[in-house]
């Protein structure tokens, strides 16, 4: 027969019911013994007032023992009954009762696997967040670069537009066309110059041969 | 409307049972230690001094009861038992519809602490899901800006090429 440690009750009351009962038993028993000793000493004292009576201290001690033995027996029986009732009805927590402080165990009865799955999920979410965060940083870095590049390109565009405005202001008509014509002409000139150089080289050669 | 008879008295609470049980114990103990029995044990003295015997007995019984009652009160006070009894009565009453045996500590802290941690983990998971969603949304918007920016740069480059050609 195993002894019920009443640990759950101890959690609630702050003491083990059996310990409490034991303490009370010992206290009661002590009082009983104490009282009996007092009774005996009072009787003995009273007897001193009757010097010629034939009652000895030994007899009184015997009487005390007789009474105490009887009382102790009754006391043990009665206390045992009381203890049983208290442990079953008062200092106990029925099996179907869950203390409020333990509610989480009713609400979230997670097995080891379920708990592990939850932890894994959280770990994964953390990693995903980190990845998103660094992706965001990269995007913002490119955005900054783009701003710089756009600014440069717009500067160049503005320079071109500025050139057009100058030409328009000075009324040189289609400066673009004349500039283009000039560039083409200077190219033609360069080609002609090249031709002349080659021809003069040839002539010089002929002269030398002659 | 008819009331269904007199109200059923509630079952006595733990405090009540406790008091009753202790009183019963005391009563029976006193009854066992009756004056007859006392006088019978101390017969010789009783014969000599019956009144004194009675007086000594009365004091003895009275003192014993007082001591026992005081001890009980001390235990109640120290353990705050009145409050605990009433509280437990309430808890038991609330669980009266539960038929299944309730959870009990397994004795293994690692096992039991899991359930205690679950609410925090669930909160944490909720939080992570939220900030992840926000981050993803934020990045989506920035990505759109980046794509638009690339288009703009391509457009600018084309315009510049066009200008260049016009000047050749």
DSSP B65-129: HHHHHHHHHHHHHHTTHHHHHHHHHHHHHHTTT--SPPP---S-HHHHHHHHHHHHHHHHHHHHH
Rounded to whole angstroms, how far apart are CA atoms A109 and B112?
9
Contact B30/B65 with Cβ under 8 angstroms? yes
- Cβ distance B42 to A67 less than 8 Å, yes or no, reads yes
The answer to whether the CB of A51 falls within 8 A of the CB of B2 is no
What is the full per-residue pLDDT of chain A (210 aa) written as tens digits? 467 889 999 999 999 999 999 999 999 999 999 999 999 999 999 998 888 888 888 999 999 999 999 999 999 999 999 999 999 999 999 999 999 999 989 888 888 999 999 999 999 999 999 999 999 999 999 999 999 999 999 998 898 888 888 777 776 556 667 777 778 878 888 888 888 888 888 888 877 776
pLDDT at A3: 79
A195–chain B nearest CA distance, Å: 24
Q: List A residues 80-119 in contact with B (Cβ-Cβ < 8 A).
A: 81-82, 85-86, 89-90, 93-100, 102, 104-110, 112, 115, 118-119
Tell me which residue in B41, B128, B139 faces A125 most closely, judged by beta carbons. Answer: B128
Q: Which residues of B are less than 8 Å from A81 in CB distance?
A: 25
Which one, of A75, A44, A67, A69, lies nearest residue A57 by Cα?
A44
A 10 A CB-CB count for B89 gives 18
B contacts of A14 (beta carbons < 8 Å)? 79
State the virtual CA torsion across A55, A60, A62, A68 in degrees, nearest 10: 160
- Predicted TM-score (pTM) above 0.80: no
Q: How far is CA B95 from CA A68, B13, B84, in A?
A: 46, 15, 16
Given this model, what pLDDT does residue B5 score? Answer: 60
Task: Give the 3-state secondary structure of residue A170.
Answer: coil
CA nearest B33 in A: which residue? Answer: A71
Q: How large is the average pLDDT for residues B134-148? A: 96
- Within 10 angstroms of residue B60's Cβ, the number of other Cβ atoms is 19
- To the nearest whole Å, the CA of B6 is away from the closest chain A CA by 26
**What does the alpha-carbon distance between residue B88 and residue B91 come to, in Å, rounded to a whole number?**
5
Tokens of B119: 């609410």
CB proximity under 8 Å: B 87-116 to A: 88, 91-92, 95, 98-105, 111-112, 114-116
| pLDDT of the residue at B17 | 96
CB–CB contact A74 B33 (8 Å)? yes
A residues 122-181 near B, CB within 8 Å? 122, 125-126, 128-129, 132-133, 135-136, 139-140, 142-143, 146-147, 149-150, 153-154, 156-157, 160, 176, 179-180
Judge: A118–B75 Cβ closer than 8 Å, yes or no: no
Of A79, A96, A104, the CB nearest to B25: A79
Give the pLDDT score at B65. Answer: 95
Binned at pLDDT 50, 70 and 90, residue B163 comes out as confident
Quick: pLDDT tens for B95-124: 989 889 999 998 888 888 988 899 999 999
- The reported pLDDT for the residue numbered A174 is 66
Q: Are A80 and B76 in contact (CB under 8 A)?
A: no
| DSSP characters over B14-69 | HHHHHHHHHHHHHHHHHHHT-HHHHHHHTHHHHHH-HHHHHHHHHHHHHHHHHHHH
pLDDT at A109: 87
Would you state the pLDDT for residue B19?
Answer: 95
Q: What pLDDT does A180 receive? A: 74
Torsion of CA B84, B87, B93, B96, to 10 degrees: -70
Q: Which residue has the tokens 């009762």?
A: A97
Phi, psi of A17 (to 5 degrees): -55, -40
Predicted confidence at residue A172, as pLDDT, reads 59
B91: Cα within 13 Å, side-chain hemisphere? 22
Tokens of B83: 């409050």
Confidence of residue B4 (pLDDT cuts 50, 70, 90): low
Nearest-by-Cβ selection for A140 from B115, B121, B142:
B142
Residue B8 binned pLDDT confidence (cut-offs 50, 70, 90): low
pLDDT digit string, tens, across residues B35-75: 999 999 999 999 999 999 999 999 999 999 999 999 999 99
**Cα-only R_g, chain B:** 42
């Amino acid at each position: 027969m195993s002894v019920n440690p009443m640990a759950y009750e101890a959690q609630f009351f702050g003491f083990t019911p059996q310990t409490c009962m034991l303490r009370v038993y010992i206290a009661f028993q002590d009082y009983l013994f104490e009282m009996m000793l007092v009774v005996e000493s009072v009787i003995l004292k009273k007897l001193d007032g009757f010097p010629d009576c034939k009652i000895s201290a030994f007899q009184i001690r015997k009487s005390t023992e007789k009474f105490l033995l009887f009382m102790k027996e009754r006391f043990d029986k009665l206390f045992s009954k009381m203890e049983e009732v208290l442990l079953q009805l008062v200092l106990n927590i029925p099996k179907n009762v869950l203390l409020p402080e333990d509610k989480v165990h009713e609400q979230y009865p997670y097995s080891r696997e379920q708990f592990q799955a939850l932890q894994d999920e959280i770990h994964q979410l953390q990693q995903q967040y980190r990845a998103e965060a660094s992706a965001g940083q990269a995007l913002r870095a490119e955005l900054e670069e783009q701003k710089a590049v756009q600014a440069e390109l717009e500067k160049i565009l503005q320079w071109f537009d500025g050139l057009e405005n100058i030409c328009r202001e000075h009324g040189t008509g289609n400066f673009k066309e004349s500039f283009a014509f000039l560039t083409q002409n200077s190219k033609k000139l360069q080609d002609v110059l090249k031709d002349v150089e080659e021809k003069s080289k040839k002539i010089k050669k002929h002269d030398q041969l002659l | 409307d008819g009331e269904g008879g007199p109200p059923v008295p509630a079952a006595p609470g733990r405090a009540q049972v406790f008091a009753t049980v202790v009183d019963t114990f005391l009563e029976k103990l006193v009854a066992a230690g009756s004056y007859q029995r006392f006088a019978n044990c101390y017969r010789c003295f009783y014969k000599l001094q019956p009144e004194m015997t009675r007086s000594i007995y009365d004091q003895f019984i009275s003192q014993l009861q007082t001591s026992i009652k005081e001890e009980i009160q001390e235990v109640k006070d120290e353990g705050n038992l009145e409050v605990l009894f009433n509280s437990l009565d309430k808890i038991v009453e609330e669980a009266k519809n539960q038929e299944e045996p309730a959870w009990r500590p397994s004795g293994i802290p690692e096992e039991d602490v899991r359930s205690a941690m679950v609410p925090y983990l669930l909160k944490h998971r909720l939080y992570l899901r939220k900030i992840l969603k926000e981050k993803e949304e934020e990045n989506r918007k920035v990505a759109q800006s980046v794509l638009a920016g690339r288009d703009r740069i391509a457009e600018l480059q084309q315009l510049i090429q066009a200008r260049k050609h016009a000047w050749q």
